[in-house]
Structures are given as C-alpha cells and as structure tokens.
A = this chain, B = another copy of it.
Amino acid sequence: MAAPVAIDDPGDPRLAPYAAMRERDLVGRRGRFVAEGEVVLRVLLSGRSRFGIESVLVSPERLPGLAPALEGLAAPVYVAPRAVMGAVAGFPIHRGVLGIGIRGADPDPDALVPPGPALLLGLVGLANHDNVGGLFRNAAAFGADAVLLDGATCDPLYRKAIRVSAGTCLTVPFGRAATGAALLDLCARHALAPVALTPGGDDIASLPPLPRALLLLGSEGTGLPEALMARARRVGIPMAPGVDSLNVAAAGAVALHRLAGARLSGGPARPSAS
C-alpha cells in the first residue's frame, strides 16, 4: 500500500467523504458507499466484490492488524485518532475502521441470471435495511446466484445494510428492475419458476425440486401484491396457531434452505454456524 497518511484535522478535505455520515446516508453519496467495520472492510479489500475503493480511514490502533489486508491497495489509507473520526462522521466510530467504496453502475438484472441451475432472490417493497442486509447474508449462505430488487426496495449499499449483511451486499450480485411485474417478466424470459412466499400458500415442503427458480419476498406489513402472486407459485411456511408472520429475513432463510437443499447437501459438506 501507499504509506499511511496521518490526519489530525477533522476539517481536512481528504476526509470529506466521511463527513456527516448519517445525514449523507439519507441523501446518497453520488456513486460512493461507506464500508464500516473490519468484517466489511476486509470483504471490500478481498477482491471478492466488484467495487472499487476510493480510500480507507482507520484509527492508529487498528492499522497494524489491518496492514496485511491493505498490502497492494492503491487507494490512500488515512489514519486518524478515533476522536477525529467521530468528529468527522458526527457520531462515535467505536470500531475505528471505515472505507469509501465506488459503486459503479448496477448490473442489468438479465445479465445476472445464469444458464443451467439457478436460484435467485427477488425483493419487492422491502424498505428495512436490516432485513435487506439479513437477506443478502442468507442469499450468500445458501448459494443464491443473485438478488433482484424492485424499485421500492431500499439500497443494499446503505451503510447499515452492508454491515448487517456481514459484507455480503458487496459480494452477492444484485440488480434492480423498475417494478415487481418486471421481475415476473424476467422470469418468463429466462424460464425461471417464480415462487412467492406468502401466508396461505402451500406448505413449502411440498414443493418439488426446481432447477431454476426466483424466490419472491415482500414486506412484513403489506406482503406481496396480489397481482404478482397471481403469476407465481404460492408457498408458505407452516407456523403455530395464532402466529401470523415470521421476520422476513428468517422466513427467507427457511425458504432458501428449502430451495437450495439439493444443491448444497450434495456438495462438499460445509454445515452452518449457530
């Protein structure tokens, strides 16, 4: 890496991309995003993501541990005391590890559908960043090929979504279609079976193996639009009497586990964590 650059002035213009972080989360960053914490920064540095790196900002205590991962990085590495980091960001940066990524153009959703066996996740109207981050983590765990978003689903490159995803928002390919209907059109173009998770659907255990599928999830409050479900196979997860819903990320984990089943249990055994 280039020699780390010590910065002690919160007003230093090189730190401008890190300024007023929460406010900037809301208005967007013009093609950039914030990687927060060591897990996420390591994913960004690993080369497993498609994203570029504009700069890294770490506290002095964190630099030695991260130095090996920063080897070969062309972008500048700024080093500032935690108090300076907090003054720039507008709140305490306890982890002392930040980076600015460059998002580039989102891929065309059609380009994300592989030939042969395919499992994709489609998110419709999911506005909660924790849930979207959790669903990316599940998509990665169960080997989904990509995540497709409708226009109303929030940005997976929002800082908190990336963090909750354990960095998988940076590694699982995603693309955006204008509407949920466009996701169904995409299924038709690519011979993907659309599967809608919804209360009242058939027990997901009764689903035969689907070599090519798109699993559609809607928000916990309003669910998937009826017009979309009418074009999909409706499946549900049996639950205890009187319980009307699971968290959408938990429901997605159960459904992805079921849909991915044959693909993963046949492969090299690498069972889960608790």
* A residues adjacent to B (C-beta < 8 A): 130, 134, 137-138, 140-143, 166, 196-205, 216-218, 220, 223-224, 235-254, 257, 260-261, 264-265, 267-274
7 smallest CB-CB distances across A and B, nearest first, come from A236-B271, A245-B273, A237-B272, A143-B240, A250-B253, A197-B274, A238-B264
When distances are taken between beta carbons in the complex, the residues of chain B under 8 Å from A253 are 246-247, 250-251, 253-254
B254 touching A267 by the CB < 8 A rule?
Answer: no
Q: Is the CB of A250 within 8 A of B217?
A: no
Q: Report yes or no: A140 in contact with B250, Cβ–Cβ below 8 A.
A: no
Inter-chain contacts of A264 with B (CB < 8 A):
238-240
The listed residue (B130, B244, B268, B272) touching A246 by CB distance below 8 A is B272
Question: Measured between alpha carbons, how far is A188 from B199 in the docked complex, in Å?
Answer: 38
Q: Do the beta carbons of A250 and B249 come within 8 Å of each other?
A: yes
Is there an interface contact between A273 and B198, defined as CB atoms closer than 8 Å?
yes
Q: Complex Cα distance A205/B160, Å?
A: 33
| Assembled-state Cα–Cα distance A175/B253 (Å) | 27
In the complex, which residue of chain B has the Cβ closest to the Cβ of A238?
A: B264
